[in-house]
Structure 1
Amino acid sequence: MQSRFVVLGTGGTIAGTAAAADDHLGYQAAQLGIQTLLAGVPALKDWPVEAEQLAQLDSKDATHALWQALAQRASHHLARPEVAGVIVTHGTDTMEEAAYFLHRVLAPRDKPVVFTGAMRPATALMADGPQNLVDALTLAATPGARGVLVTMGGGVHGAAEVRKQHSYRLDTLSCGDAGALGFVEAGRLRRLRDWPAGEALGLAAVSAPVAHWPRVDVVMSHGGADGRVVRALLAAGTDGLAVAATGNGTLHAALLAALEEAAARGVPVLVASRCAHGGVIAQPGQRFETAGTLTPVAARIELLLQLLARRAAAAGPDGAA
């Protein structure tokens, strides 16, 4: 049986169009379907590829429903014996969030899920999307490839570490201190580190209707911060707070007081660093759980998934709490 690859399209800049070929900023994202994108890459003509349009949106508008559908469809296709890997085309604004979500929910051990996108629209004079698509298929076809991976601009990144580091440059993605997993070069992967590892929560943890998912919000510590945002979120019914802290998890005293009020009311607090590199190194006597090297947005997803897993465990196998 010939191996096949499934491409799940969700829109993004890679599917965007502009009125002029030199316009890389004033474009409309998510205008072209995934079939059109694939047909426009001659290098993919002989690849055994299936395409599925899962969504068509600018990734700044990503929703929990999209992440749930991504997990469900990726899991479905990975379970097919003839499918060797799944590729997801996605906007870069929230690509790191979707990739981390799938990493924690699926953590595939024998096949890859590869995210890719673009920083220039499909109509650009030198669009980067076509080469990124070729690299994503090349990566997915690499023997032994596994886990949730992200590739753009030739770099290969793990979903637990990847973050968008630049607002418009082609080499926008980084893995911070960890460095890239490898590079796709001349149609081959040069791997520098091990494939991503992790324990999957499983689809059951995210199977509840998204309207019933916990609400987890991000707050930032900064000069002049106070507790009003935290108290407003508590009044709005937040279920958890991820904090973008300064430095190694430091918090403005006024914000800290409000976060302690939240914790006293049973609202979990997870502290990440707002710094571009590094993370939060746990210290003796710390008040809240720390997120390690996770970015604030990844910490938010981690806390969301923890709360979902707790609800699923409390409900038991029959779904009754």
Structure 2
Amino acid sequence: MLSSPPLRRVRLITLGGTISSEPAGPGPETTGRGSSEGLSDGPAGVVPRSGAGLFQQEIQHWVPGVELVPLELRMVPSPSLTMADLLALHAAIAGFGDDVDGVVVSQGTDTIEETAFVLDVLGAAARVPVVVTGAMRDRTTPGADGAANLVAAALVAASPDARGAGVLVQIADRTHAARWVTKRSTFRVDGFSSEPFGPVGAVVEGVVHLGGVPRPRPALPVPTGEAPRVAVVVAGLGDDLALLPGLADAGYDGVVIAGAGGGHVAASAVENVAATVARIPVVMCSRVGSGPALTQTYGYPGGEIDLARVGTVPGGGLSAPKARMLLMLLVASGATPDEVRDGIVRYGRD
């Protein structure tokens, strides 16, 4: 008689978010970072309340070949997560022993791309697969998607095929690379995209299928100390971006501009961009959502060639949120201006 294969041990870490959310009321509350105390008018809405222990009980029978070991690390809405939280998450993953075969992280979908990208850049998946997931519908909504996403994420995290694939994001049966994934809908359960490359895999009938994954990149060192402040500013039609030069005075250590089209600003904004570059790093991304910021096509004032001349750093294929996280990590590590440029360019390549 053939013996059953040994169970694959997967650590299930929860941070909060919609996947953990239920209607507000008596019971465990989120931290003060998610509090709306004093706002009594209108609907109460849902708040993060349920964590790893309950999830493990609810989905364990759906993954009989996997032993889920829960760890509730945070219980907050995902916009309230901080770089300190992400570094604590990275430390928790790095601290797991050799008996762990994979890691699932659940959190709110609003900032999944930032969490997954930071973990990826810091090399969190170097030893075992790390899969980040969430839900677009809360636990009490008809057709809630959280349990299905957790099951699929656990299967991917337990799969030997996921080793060496970098940090992954599992949503609506599709597997995305952290490097490419972005949220593209406020309501659809399949509201994530990896344009222009597409998902790297899928879970079908409980079977993990992985295709091409991004080329591995060297991990950045884990920074210590207080996280730098980096702003994201969206450039619009005719906007002179007069607020930019004041960001350094307000205590910001860098800025990411989500420019129009291929990463462009109005001609009237160039002077303010140049004044900002003289004081803090400025990274140029595209606000479009698919395709890299351009580097050598448009030569008009405010085009990418003009902006490069005044010292901006091209963000390549990075979304503005990812470029912000990367710039925070680089500045926190004490990188020189040249090292900041090299780091952004390196990780901005596809």
**Structure 1-normalised TM-score?**
0.87
Corresponding residue of 2:329: 305
Instruction: Give the distance between the partners of 2:52 and 2:169, measured in 1 at CA.
Output: 18
1:144 matched to 2:168: no
1:56 matched to 2:69: no
Corresponding residue of 1:122: 139
Corresponding residue of 2:66: 47
Corresponding residue of 2:31: none
Q: Number of matched residues?
A: 300
2:50 to 11, 28, 32: 32
Give the residue type in structure 2 aligned to 1:127: A
How much does 1:178 deviate?
1.1
Q: Map 1:180-219 onto structure 2 (within 5 A).
A: 180-194=199-213, 197-203=216-222, 206-208=223-225, 212-219=226-233
1:161 matched to 2:219: no
How much does 1:27 deviate?
4.0
Aligned partners of 1:240 and 1:303 also within 8 Å? yes
Corresponding residue of 1:261: 275
Instruction: Give the distance between the partners of 1:26 and 1:226, measured in 2 at CA.
Output: 40
Instruction: Give the distance between the partners of 2:185 and 2:71, measured in 1 at CA.
Output: 29
**Structure 2-normalised TM-score?**
0.80
Instruction: Give the distance between the partners of 1:297 and 1:195, measured in 2 at CA.
Output: 19
2:254 to 221, 225, 240: 240
Corresponding residue of 2:14: 9
CA RMSD of aligned residues (A): 2.2
Instruction: Give the distance between the partners of 2:126 and 2:49, measured in 1 at CA.
Output: 34
Aligned partners of 1:132 and 1:151 also within 8 Å? yes
SS of aligned partner of 1:69:
helix
Aligned partners of 2:202 and 2:209 also within 8 Å? yes
Q: Which sections of structure 2, spanning at least 5 residues, go unmatched?
A: 1-5, 25-42, 297-304, 337-350
Give the residue type in structure 1 aligned to 2:282: V
- Pair 26,103 (structure 1): closer, same or farther in 2 beyond 3 Å: farther
1:275 to 285, 288, 307: 288
Give the residue type in structure 1 aligned to 2:172: G
SS of aligned partner of 2:50:
coil
Shifted more, 229-238 versus 190-199: the winner is: 190-199
Give the residue type in structure 1 aligned to 2:151: V
- Pair 26,178 (structure 1): closer, same or farther in 2 beyond 3 Å: farther
How much does 1:162 deviate?
0.6
Corresponding residue of 1:315: none
Q: Which sections of structure 1, spanning at least 5 residues, go unmatched?
A: 20-24, 313-321
Give the residue type in structure 1 aligned to 2:332: L
Deviations 1:168-220 (A, max 9, x none): 100011111011001111111222312562211133xx222xxx222111111
Aligned partners of 1:13 and 1:121 also within 8 Å? yes
How much does 1:306 deviate?
1.6
Instruction: Give the distance between the partners of 2:213 and 2:240, measured in 1 at CA.
Output: 43
- Pair 13,196 (structure 1): closer, same or farther in 2 beyond 3 Å: farther
Q: Map 1:285-296 onto structure 2 (within 5 A).
A: 286-287=308-309, 288-296=312-320
Instruction: Give the distance between the partners of 2:284 and 2:55, measured in 1 at CA.
Output: 40
Deviations 1:246-268 (A, max 9, x none): 11111122322111001123x11
Corresponding residue of 2:95: 76
Give the residue type in structure 2 aligned to 1:305: L
Give the residue type in structure 1 aligned to 2:71: E
Corresponding residue of 2:85: 66
Instruction: Give the distance between the partners of 2:269 and 2:87, measured in 1 at CA.
Output: 32
Aligned partners of 2:124 and 2:130 also within 8 Å? no
1:89 to 103, 106, 110: 106
| Identity level (%) | 32
SS of aligned partner of 2:46:
coil
Instruction: Give the distance between the partners of 1:45 and 1:264, measured in 2 at CA.
Output: 58
